[in-house]
């Protein structure tokens, strides 16, 4: 018998961090899935224990300030796309306001560290959400376009094709076949 499971990435990460931090008796505040504030003086032993506990799950603690900022930019882009798709705020204003840096600075740090740009990342992420809806829901392209605040279905299809090299329908067809094709592990 084969089962398919669906993940809510946000809930998964938050629950996971909470459980592990509680287990180690660390007092903390979760700011986002990528950022937390430790509200006590962390002993080196506890810090090591935490790093080890997280490492097993492929989670690492970022120390480099610039890469940390890149992660915060990404996570702000994600939340803008997911939760504020319909707001009239521009991405550049949203980032500057939430991260307290000028957009020019954010954009420079991002490009310097990622070989890419914030705009490119945002497009890739938005297309990734389209993929998620295409695979996991029965929404039509029109409905997906509305949900992700594309101005039209044509705009969505165009951006999808330009970014992935595939049309949404080709992608959907391949993914359906791929699921049937993959051997159960």
Partner 1 sequence: MSENPLNIVLADDDDDDRMLFSEAIDEIAIQTNLKLFNHGQELMDYLNTAGSNLPNLIFLDLNMPIKNGLQCLKEIRSNTALKDLCVAIYSTSSSEVDIEETFLNGANIYVNKPNNYSKLREAVEKVLQLNWQYHTSNLNKDTFLFRI
Separation of first and last alpha carbons in the chain: 11
Q: Is 59 in the site for partner 1 (CB under 8 A)?
A: no
- In Å, how far from its chain's centre is CA 119? 14
Structure tokens at 149: 């605040």
Q: Is 120 in the site for partner 1 (CB under 8 A)?
A: yes
Q: Which of 19, 35, 112, 143 binds partner 1 (CB under 8 A)?
A: 112
Q: Is 74 in the site for partner 1 (CB under 8 A)?
A: yes
Instruction: Using CB atoms within 10 Å of the CB of residue 120, give its burial: 0 to 12 exposed, 13 to 18 middle, 19+ buried.
Output: middle
Q: Is 128 in the site for partner 1 (CB under 8 A)?
A: yes
Q: Is 178 in the site for partner 1 (CB under 8 A)?
A: yes
Min dist. Cβ of residue 37 to partner 1 (A): 21
CA distance 152 to 96: 27
Contact 34, 72 (CB under 8 A): yes
Per-residue binder mask for partner 1 (CB under 8 A), 79-98, x = binder: --------------------
Q: Is 36 in the site for partner 1 (CB under 8 A)?
A: no
């Amino acid at each position: 018998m084969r089962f398919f499971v669906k993940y809510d990435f946000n809930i998964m990460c938050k629950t996971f961090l909470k459980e592990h931090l509680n287990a180690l008796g660390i007092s903390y505040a979760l700011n986002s899935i990528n950022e937390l504030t430790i509200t006590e003086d962390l002993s080196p032993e506890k810090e090591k224990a935490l790093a080890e506990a997280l490492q097993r799950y492929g989670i690492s603690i970022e120390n480099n300030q610039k890469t940390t900022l890149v992660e915060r930019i990404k996570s702000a882009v994600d939340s803008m796309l997911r939760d504020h798709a319909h707001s009239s705020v521009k991405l550049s204003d949203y980032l500057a306001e939430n991260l307290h840096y000028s957009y020019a600075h954010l954009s420079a740090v991002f490009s310097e560290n990622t070989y890419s740009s914030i705009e490119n990342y945002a497009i890739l992420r938005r297309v990734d959400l389209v993929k998620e809806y295409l695979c996991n829901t029965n929404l039509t392209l029109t409905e997906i376009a509305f949900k992700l605040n594309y101005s039209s279905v044509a705009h969505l299809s165009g951006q999808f094709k330009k970014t992935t090299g595939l049309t949404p329908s080709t992608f959907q067809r391949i993914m359906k076949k791929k699921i049937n094709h993959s051997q159960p592990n």
